[in-house]
Structure 1
């Protein structure tokens, strides 16, 4: 490999010849439009087919005088492969869903997609809107709230440059932004494609640590495209560039180099996480195939140079006082097929590792081969579930399978790429955030992918082993902001109860959860718990607490108190299982601390639309309390959709987080018997829970609301849980582009998947609440080899008028309980229902209710 004499690049770095130069990249300003939508876009829109190409079929389209062809490979037949046609990765790519729709493997590190200039929406890169595309990048997160994440080292393809002069091409992100052809996005598991109005079609697929792009061009000598707000003829001579920026424009240093003989571009950067503290390093290695090289060079903003082949930290300030920086390759016309392939390896360790990843995983630039392998990986994962969908609409099937698919996008398996410590344990990243995912995603993976869930648990324990605390949120090797309690305690407690044991060090796991309960860190805003002195001595977090042991947000005293209580309950269960009886009693006792914030006299006072002061019929809510034991008022509806909904995010001063006291007053899954009693008994509890869902207070866009849909079980009315599950599906969870009600967090899909399969977990307990599945039969691969857990509706009604369980049988015997245990999914079995249009008596007896406050010794 050649390098510039005297360059610091190339010192003892093997094939890449790179030592990681650095320079600063200040943020550049956003704007909603970078180019005028040229008249040629209208022509392309008319001529191109819509992306409804059947899997396995060859497609072609006419673009600027040339025909471009491609295909979506189906791979080998089998149930898992068959259902991939029902997976629509574009669901949730607008309206705040922040779903990643691009090419990915299950839990894959490489995630390739088009990045759009969509402020406040492009956390995952791509948004289904009308904003232009600024590049195609290779790593993303999915479903997160907050700021954009990753999106490092975007590629961009110009069909050619005005006057055939490379310096007249647009290099900075804001200036190269190009509109897409509306309706041209095509997303399938392991594949994504999009047409741009500059006549470029971009396709992409991935392996674990590398992305493969195919940029196709019309074969005409020139194409008239919009440049500088007017159309100009651009010759056919593609230019591809790689930019060092990321989606959030957070880069603080980095360098880039291009090798003129081969066109290889390598580089690195230091970036910040989107919802945490610290920095991380990332590296890439890009190679190209399909056309001869004309020229190569680098750029800083719009200053492109053919002479300068590398930019490091020392020269970056001179070349680029702010904006995009990278390298480019100008090609002759492609040698065949009118396309150029770009292979980008990524790594969190080094450029050498990025190059090695690409060369090992995609040695042949075989696009169809890589795409087929990605589809097979998804087919294998989704093959853990089979359904009889007779009579069920394609929209409903798409909602189900797409939801399952999204649960496996993150956390990402970055084993072997850990830049912080050496370990033989798995390493998973992008736990955004366990506060969201413990409620549905991790319990679902425990059933359908126990191997991956076991690795995640081991990874959490190894993070504790090397960092000193379990994370509540973690991304890009950085500590993320804690939103509530130390909820990894619940994930670990759930795993303990459900026999997640392979390779798990339970001694260290128990040490980790006890550390959360007993030892306050210096910054409990990013790990562990705060206000522990008061929690231990007073049994609640006072509104005016003076914490002298650490720092962190002093708000959220209600929501953190109920979460700490449930965290302690889960620790108590682990302690009991490990025969640590005194610990079990201590944490079991602390799990009752939620009662200390129950104000039985608190009324539900609110203003109607006319400004009149009204009061509902319900009394008794969780409320903040001062250190002296006196009450402080918190409006019972604040932070709900009908009152100051957006006032309780991370920087809130309120006592609840992303939810109201109405919502948090239901979060006592460890002691529903006491809660039902405090709310006036079963009938009154059911009336109150019904009012919560009917009045507009409930918001399904945050995961804390999930369990409330099914808590009617604890009032002896499991049929009402089914009623409300049917209300939310498909009204808020459906197959439309905005088919989820909030940030996906890889948990929205888990919620809908559970509803479709006919049960919902009480995370941290060995309890699944039963409702009728939305399929005639659901088959889930059991842990015991060769066995299946089967849930069947004998008199299935695809119109769903019969939505109430009337009778049930478990393995041929009558079954009246409204819940089952994890043993069903471990050993397999047959659970059958008869359903009706009216709520019956099934599951309503005292002995049929889900357990509450279980005896710790199991007797």
Structure 2
């Protein structure tokens, strides 16, 4: 049967004139509802320190516990204070280069100080931890108090030492990073000023290659007493320079520089740390320009950072309607975390300078494309345009769009080439200032040309993809090299990547390309085995039909349908790869998938089983969309009901209030969209409508200046009334369970009437979200 063209998200029966309404403004400063410590334990891996939106400089205390993002509220010990971090990542700890560590040496003897990480690690006083936008503070059990803030490229620290001690406080710099990946490094110590300069070569925490980072540290508020370098657990005043490698037989050699001080004013030493990927001189210059008066600039920097966050958060206002402060804190904190990364590395790329803003730390796009980038498209479209242009900049210089990119290095790929989805999403939502012909070229490159090493960009197995219309199990692929696994996940994701390519091609008038790639977007069906059953602990689940691996000769292989779930063995991308790994379903063809599963009732039963049996792992982003898939079966009320089983149980305002690592703000984006009552289908002009967690939400488009409004009648903060009874858009009845991006750009108004029972709103076939294609015969 020939596939039908996909439905476009074109509004019907809408009054296009702007609606004038009175905004309910939250009088309190929204910054009071931001807690950077949400997700600072229980594997959230958030960055809890001081940062401006998307900034390079990110100072915080580093610990020896859950230190992927630097600091954790897990009661571990502080090993230093470093100025660069990534936020919410998985894998190895990221960045955390060149930490400083302040201490008083016993007996005022340098060689009685603790230089090694394991020896200097000091517990922090748990109740002393203070984190808010632009500021982080903590007291060590040694009595040293640390507070910090930052500019775009530099960190400013205040170290307050215990009063009544006549010793000379020492601050060391360690030529290391959180992962201890340093390959080599150097440092010089100025004998008079105590300035520390140098660099190091490090490995990215989840990728290929290496990067070089440079530093420049200046001290203020006291006199230099003496200084020098240290190696292992000994320091000396001579020499003043040091070069260090991994050490004999790759033994990790600990080393760095140190400075002692006298005459501190109020027992406080101020340290300014500049960071650069270009040179130590640029690190010094950036720090001097951004923090010219270190003893006086702390409050200025804090105020400027707070103002920058208020501006970024400004497009949204909320009338909570009695919703708890905890829920408001989850909402605003999630929005805050979504704007920490990617990071603006403009002027810091040592490999090329295209004269445009350059962003990095896409860690990783297979997670962030789902909700984080769609959220930025709404609230910070200018930054999203710069990020898309940076992806295209990487394509022009490295040959392919990245699936993951951090520390100016290629990150590993996972399943598909999901920068394709980010680009399609930007196109259909009418972002401007992007070369769309170049974008089409870049996405076609992903779809048609296999790189030699597809482990860190592009797609592998393209010959099989084109010839067989699926990725085979144990594929023969001499054209390129990567982990020969994930055949099911890659098939599903390649199919959606091709659908997004088709969407872009059609919009640019390339119907020839559209026809090719929209047909390829149906390839996922080739791995659907209709008679496959599934057992859990020997008990038949009662469901038939699952995705299964298939050999090149067309015969079926077998993988347990529950493999890689929390009910089975954990799967790793590299150490024990399988044929499924954190892949999307098929958001382009949900009606087809429902048909293959039998009917709507069977599909809903599967969803319920998935979410209640322990199979669903909401700590992984592909599960996000499954919360809302009830929409496609004509039961949108069940999506809202399911969402309330995860918020606030798995997503809340506690320090462990994330179910897994934040993935550069993806968890935060899920919370924000969930509480707004709209969920994006990334790559399509579709937002699924559900009941919001607040009485009223207003979103002003930074592009058009028009304000979209989501308001409710029958709202109750006890959440008995979570089922939509009816909807109007701009005063007119709206029966569809979804809406397009024009809602935001045109400043429409959605009014939802809520009740405590499901209604027939959004249940009719014609009111369900768009879906392309039919089952192949």
- Which TM-score applies when normalising by structure 1? 0.85
In the TM superposition, what is the alpha-carbon distance from 1:854 to its structure 2 partner?
Answer: 8.0
Question: What SS is found at the alignment partner of 2:531?
Answer: strand
Report matched runs for 1:309-708 at 5 Å.
309-312=240-243, 322-335=252-265, 337-365=266-294, 366-502=297-433, 504-607=434-537, 613-644=538-569, 646-658=570-582, 667-708=585-626
What displacement does 1:653 show? 3.0
CA distance in 1, matches of 2:510, 2:742: 24
Say whether 1:253 aligns with 2:171.
no
Kept after mapping to 1: 8 A contact 2:381/2:703? no
For 2:114 and 2:748, locate their aligned partners in 1 and report how far apart those are by CA, in whole Å: 62
Structure 2 unaligned runs (5+)?
Answer: 1-24
Q: What is the CA distance between 1:307 and its match in structure 2? A: 2.2
Q: 2: distance between equivalents of 1:161 and 1:691?
A: 60
Q: Report the Cα offset of residue 757 of structure 1.
A: 0.5
Alignment match, 2:235: 304
Structure 1 range deviating more: 326-335 or 547-556: 326-335
1:727 matched to 2:657? The reply is no
Question: C-alpha distance in 1, partners of 2:341/2:75?
Answer: 27
How far apart are the structure 2 equivalents of 1:380 and 1:81?
15
Q: What SS does structure 1 have at the residue aligned with 2:122?
A: coil
Preserved CA contact (<8 Å) 1:156 1:240: yes
Instruction: Give the aligned partner of residue 633 of structure 2.
Output: 715
The aligned residue for residue 138 of structure 1 is 83
Whole-Å Cα distance in 2 between the matches of residues 737 and 540 of structure 1? 43
- After superposition, residues 837-852 of structure 1 pair within 5 angstroms as 837-852=756-771
What is the number of residues matched between the two proteins?
746
Which residues in structure 2 correspond to 1:735-750 (within 5 Å)? 735-745=653-663, 746-750=665-669
Which of 80, 93, 99 matches 1:148?
93
**TM-superposition CA deviations, 1:6-64 (whole Å, max 9, x none):** xxxxxxxxxxxxxxxxxxxxxxxxxxxxxxxxxxxxxxxxxxxxxxxxxxxxxxxxxxx
> 2:755 is matched with which residue: 827, 831, 836?
836
Question: Helix, strand or coil for the counterpart of 2:131?
Answer: strand
* 1:181 aligns with one of 101, 115, 125: 125
Partner of residue 699, structure 2: 780
> Contact 2:501–2:517 (CA<8 Å) still a contact in 1?
yes
TM-aligned CA deviation for residue 96 of structure 1: 1.3
Partner of 1:56: none
For normalisation by structure 2, the TM-score amounts to 0.94
The whole-number CA distance in structure 1 between the counterparts of 2:609 and 2:710 is 31
Counterpart CA distance in 2 for 1:349 and 1:783 is 33
| 2:220 match | 289
- Contact persistence 2:244–2:253 (CA under 8 A): no
Over residues 774-825 of structure 1, what are the superposed CA-to-partner deviations in whole Å (9 max), with x where a residue is unaligned? 0000111124533111100122111110000001110111111100000011
Q: Of the candidates 93, 97, 100, which is equivalent to residue 44 of structure 2?
A: 97
Q: In the aligned structure 1, how far is the partner of 2:90 from the partner of 2:281?
A: 33
Larger RCO (alpha carbons 8 Å, 6+ apart): 2
User: CA–CA distance in 1 between the matches of 2:658 and 2:643?
Assistant: 14
Once the two structures are overlaid, the 10-residue window that deviates more, 374-383 or 514-523, is 374-383
Distance in structure 1 (CA, Å) of the matches to 2:183 and 2:601: 59
Aligned pair 1:195/2:113, yes or no?
Answer: no
User: Which whole-Å CA distance do the structure 1 matches of 2:197 and 2:27 have between them?
Assistant: 38
Structure 2 counterpart SS, 1:624: coil
Residue deviations 1:130-154 (CA, integer Å, cap 9, x gap): 2211000000001111101111110
Structure 1 residues 756-778: Cα deviation after superposition (integer angstroms, max 9, x where no partner): 10110000000000001100001
Q: Using the alignment, how far apart are the partners of 1:395 and 1:206 within structure 2?
A: 28
The SS at the match of 2:671 is helix
Contact 2:420 2:500 in 1 (8 A): yes
SS at match of 1:617: coil
- Following superposition, the deviation at residue 317 of structure 1 comes to 6.6
SS at 2:494's partner residue?
helix
Residues in 2 aligned to 1:829 and 1:594: alpha-carbon distance in whole angstroms: 36
Contact 2:79 2:120 in 1 (8 A): yes
Cα distance in 2 for residues equivalent to 1:296 and 1:800: 62
Q: CA deviation at 1:648?
A: 4.0
> What are the within-5 Å matches in structure 2 for residues 761-800 of structure 1?
761-800=680-719
Alpha-carbon displacement from aligned partner over 1:680-711 (angstroms, at most 9, x marks no partner)? 11222112211111111111000000000001
Tell me the CA shift for residue 258 of structure 1. 1.0
Q: What is the CA–CA distance in structure 2 between the aligned matches of 1:768 and 1:785, rounded to whole Å?
A: 19
State the alpha-carbon separation in 2 of the partners of residues 650 and 738 from structure 1: 28
